[in-house]
Amino acid sequence: MLLRMYTRFLSNEDMKYQIEEISQGEEAGIKSASIRVDAYRAYATLESERGVHRLVRISPFDSNKRRHTSFAGVDVVPLIEDSEEIHIQEDEIRVDVYRSSGAGGQHVNTTDSAVRITHLESGIVVACQAERSQLQNKNRALELLKTKLILKQKEEELLKINDIRGDQHEAGWGRQIRSYVLQPYQQVKDSRSNTEVGNVVNVLDGDISLFIKDYLKWRRQGIND
């Protein structure tokens, strides 16, 4: 549902994107997905979405029609173009090749060229299946891995000097930032800006601009305070 929401938002905003990887759930749905966005101020626009999203609804997989609560984590990472300072040796990673899965169009292919890379020391995992060439997918995955390692390194340096940016705790992993409630009432609420919208269908159809704008206002207010 989140993948659909974000791709519709990106399409509505004319922001170029490509689904890099999709992993199907064991029973239904999507276990994980990665989207690469190439657009002006893409990171600044989408930074507000980083964190844990909560969904409350009558599960279509429950024959007793009971209400279920589920959670999904969203990470937003800026792609660092100049990542030459990070050198990754082959013995530092594990490379797995597998068959792609997902939709066509501007999304992913279905050849055996998908690549998943695990950085053994940090445990960071990245994957790419957007290209038809296994080598191209590996290179793009390595590019993302280098970015994540650089960000991890910089974050650790900031932790050492106790200078983490103000919203790191509020918008970080393990903390709910937004709830999408379909039952017993309908409402989407952002727990940071307290923005509330009653039309859940529109939001899940990609209308999230209000949440992004109000997040930026909330963040600026926190910085000024």
pLDDT in tens, 191-225: 999 999 999 999 999 999 999 999 999 988 876 65
Are 35 and 144 a contacting pair, CB within 8 Å? no
Q: Quick one: tokens of 178?
A: 């937004």
Residues in the chain: 225
Q: Quick one: tokens of 18?
A: 């490509």
More confident residue, 109 or 28: 28
Q: What percent of the chain has pLDDT over 70?
A: 83
Domains of the chain: 90-160 (3.30.160.20)
pLDDT in tens, 69-85: 889 999 898 877 665 66
Beta strand 51-58 pairing with 176-181 = parallel
Most distant CA atoms of the chain, gap in Å = 55
Mean pLDDT of 185-192: 95
Q: Is the pTM of this model over 0.75?
A: no
More confident residue, 214 or 58: 214
| Mean of per-residue pLDDT scores for the chain | 84
User: Does residue 105 surpass a pLDDT of 80?
Assistant: no
